[in-house]
Structure 1
Amino acid sequence: MAELDPEDAKIVTLARSSRARTGAAEGAAVRDTDGRTYTAATVALPSLKLTALQAAVAAAVASGAEGLEAAAVVTGADAVDADSLAAVRDLTADAPVLRADTAGTVVDVLR
């Protein structure tokens, strides 16, 4: 992987810290078109289940974001699941989604 833009590195760091702070399966962060960031972790309640990326997108939308510049998810999974990717694409069709391993190393960028 090429060196990350500082703003992309920031959302990877925020996603990693959200995961670590909660002990969740995943952590995610998104940056909206105004440069604001939103973070979240996996939500696994009996009545509500959201991936970390879905939760981060929901936080952005609830705060009035109309589009995303980029998204990052820190996960032990080999891929970003389709529902997480769909949540990002609902706001912005071409925002890059960075998938990082649990150490915070970006292993994939989905466009």
Structure 2
Amino acid sequence: MSHLDPEDAKLVILARSAMARAEATTGAAVRDTDGRTYAGAPITLAALTLTALQAAISAAVSSGAVDLEAAVLVGGDLDDPGIAALHELSAGAVTIVTDRSGTVLA
């Protein structure tokens, strides 16, 4: 994480914390253009299924965020459907994917 911008490194920490709290294999965090951050873990219910990134984006949007500047997905990959949601909301948002330890993959 040492080569990440300090604000992006904070997102990695938030995402890893969400993953740990939920005892999940992935976690995510996003930052809106006002600097507010939102974290999420996967949700798997009979009536609702979201990836960690979708959950973090949902938390941001439901809190009034209209534009995101960065997203971190820990333990996921570039095929995550949350990335499409991120780009739909904010085409220019930085996307960082890491392994479970926080090492940047993409």
TM-score normalised by L of structure 1: 0.89
Shift of residue 64, structure 1, vs aligned partner: 0.5
State the Cα RMSD in Å. Answer: 1.4
Identity of aligned residues (%): 56
Greater strand fraction, Structure 1 or Structure 2? 1
Matched, 1:24 2:24: yes
d(CA) in 2 for partners of 1:83, 1:35: 24
Helix, strand or coil for the counterpart of 1:87? helix
Moved over 6 A (4+): none
d(CA) in 1 for partners of 2:64, 2:34: 10
Residue type at the aligned position of 1:17: S
d(CA) in 2 for partners of 1:84, 1:69: 14
* Structure 2 equivalent of residue 98 of structure 1: 96
Shift of residue 2, structure 1, vs aligned partner: 7.5
Helix, strand or coil for the counterpart of 1:105? coil
The number of aligned residues is 106
| Structure 2: tracts of 5 or more residues without a match | none
